[in-house]
Structure 1
């Protein structure tokens, strides 16, 4: 019995009556939900999971027989996290999908406030055009579509081309800041030769009147895999980091910050036989195996992976990776926006 003479049951009933009285006025007691709103540690709804590329590719090719790229606008199979079904999310904050474009197809030009990245996984002969400049898509290339830039895709080769799309759709949705519009023409008119942006912004030089600012989207929209791979291979003669092997992050050369303000991207090399020490961080991270094979251990769950397989490590989940052979992993996460807000945290165990 409480000090005022009421039993626990009576106290509960009185409180419940109070909650029901204030409910029609759109009021609710914080003390009933405080633990969920301000948890002791992150409680992501996303779950650890792996997508087998060979199987997913078969489904994507089947989709190619069902609908054209023009009719679909973007022929994509969304990688939905099992803990977030129906929400088109691979993590609580990020989107992922596998896109297919067949020979002689065009995915029409449009633009939107959501920022996007592409990671080419298989096939040759396709291109992405961003604001009037095309870039040839080659396996492992990291290609960016900054927010509100017109972009289209085409395939002038003789092979199906598949790439991973990563977008900050859930972040933009949270802020209710989504806009989208189609372009006047299906394919953009080429205004600059291929490689123009790289010459201006990616060669340790900048246009004389250009002033880069922290937080702005990069003008350099393609990061060739051959260059990135050369970098991680070059540093592989130095001592190995027990938690990462050899890991580098992509940057905008003009500012030193992430190429996309809301999404960070990384490339990592693990020597044959290495098993990383346990690590956790607050940014949910999507990994893609570009070379080699191994096993990821996420909170004790084992996820064997091979070339082009994709797996998700949710926020604050403990991760270890064992490389069966020399392995190269690409990854992307929401780290830049977390760091900008002073939220990011890691634990090297």
Structure 2
């Protein structure tokens, strides 16, 4: 009998399976039947948890960071909103990154680009700018601003007050594909080659330039002003009753294709009338919320979070959630829903049992 044949000979008795697993392990193999229930679960079993960041608690640390490091030295002065169950990962959910960025008066966050797509949701202040591929836009509280993949972008604050915004990026998704690239620009600021409002004039009025053709999946609009969004929500509130699960909820769209402004992240704004209590809801997209106006509470599974203006919280995938508004409230949110929908994975339950 050869040595190889002897190695493959199975062991009998109670240790037969363990012995078998050890022998196939030497070939970098494993038995599916030992992990099938984890790999193909009957329902989603997220390994992250609901979390809440009170702006009253966070803001002093943001301001302190401004005295410890400059925007230029940091490149991006951001405090990461890291899920408590994923410490060390720099992730808010397994597919989404979230953080709060501070730009002080007179500062510039240097120009760079990367394959990760980014959104900016303005939390505090107005008058700072972001520049994307040669066009600047002035940002105001509640504005939703996008930075498409692989576009040069820098930020500056010409106002007299600190500016804070929520950064949302698809960093974990890009990392999963090992598709991350980044490059610094040769100067702090890129040249401004287009007049302010250039994109808005051409793409934000239900019209497109006659010969314009989309070169990527990202929206050609990169600033969605809160004033317009708020007006649309108010009109919805006047025209009919709120949806039982969402109140009055709108999704931001790419005018070129009707899809999400960013291919990997869906963005939403919803109005909860005063006293509104939502029906239970759950969906497979983990969602990060930013409170724009008002106060209330959300019950996520067995966790109840009290929130108010400028707070942030996260609802994990397939977690049952209900919202209740003490006063009229407006919530901005973003999730990985567009990716799930493209892959025919997204699912919702409007009963949440």
TM-score range, shorter chain: over 0.9
The residue that corresponds to 2:5 in the other structure is none
Cα shift at 1:300:
2.5
Aligned to 1:135: 137
1:90-239 mapped onto 2 (5 Å cutoff): 90-212=92-214, 216-237=217-238, 238-239=240-241
SS in 2 for 1:243: coil
CA distance in 2, matches of 1:233, 1:216: 30
Matches within 5 A, 1:1-349: 11-212=13-214, 216-237=217-238, 238-349=240-351
Shift of 1:12: 4.5
| 1:135-159 Cα distance to aligned partner (Å, 9 max, x none) | 0010000000000000000011111
Secondary structure in structure 2 of the residue aligned to 1:25: coil
Look up the SS of the partner of 2:73 in the other structure. helix
- Give the secondary structure class of the aligned counterpart of 2:339: helix
Q: Which moved more, 1:223-232 or 1:233-242?
A: 233-242
- CA–CA separation in structure 2 for the residues paired with 1:62 and 1:136: 25
Residue-by-residue CA offset, 1:290-309 (whole Å, 9 max, x unaligned): 00000000003110000010
Aligned counterparts of 2:13 and 2:147: Cα–Cα separation in 1: 58
Partner of 1:5: none
Structure 1 residue 92: Cα displacement: 1.3
In structure 2, how many angstroms separate the alpha carbons of the residues matched to 1:24 and 1:64? 53
Displaced runs of 4 or more, over 2 A:
none
SS at match of 1:256: coil
Task: Name the TM-score, length of structure 2 as normaliser.
Answer: 0.94
- Post-superposition offset of 1:198: 0.7
Equivalences, count: 340
Unpaired runs of 5+ residues, structure 1, are: 1-9
Structure 1 residue 11 displacement after superposition: 5.0
| Deviations, residues 8-33 of structure 1 (Å, cap 9, x unaligned) | xx754111111111112111111111
Mean Cα deviation higher: 59-68 or 202-211: 202-211
1:3 aligned partner: none
| Residue in 2 that maps onto 1:7 | none
The whole-number CA distance in structure 1 between the counterparts of 2:13 and 2:253 is 58
SS in structure 1 opposite 2:314?
strand
1:79-127 CA-partner distances (Å, limit 9, x unpaired): 0001111001001110000000111110000000000000001122210
Larger mean CA deviation between 110-119 and 233-242 belongs to 233-242
User: In angstroms, what is the RMSD of aligned CA positions?
Assistant: 1.3
For the residue of structure 1 that corresponds to 2:113, the secondary structure is strand
| Whole-angstrom CA distance in 2 between matches of 1:334 and 1:229 | 23
Partner-residue secondary structure (3-state), 1:339: helix
Q: Partners in 2 of 1:151 and 1:83 — Cα distance?
A: 32
- TM normalised by structure 1 equals 0.95
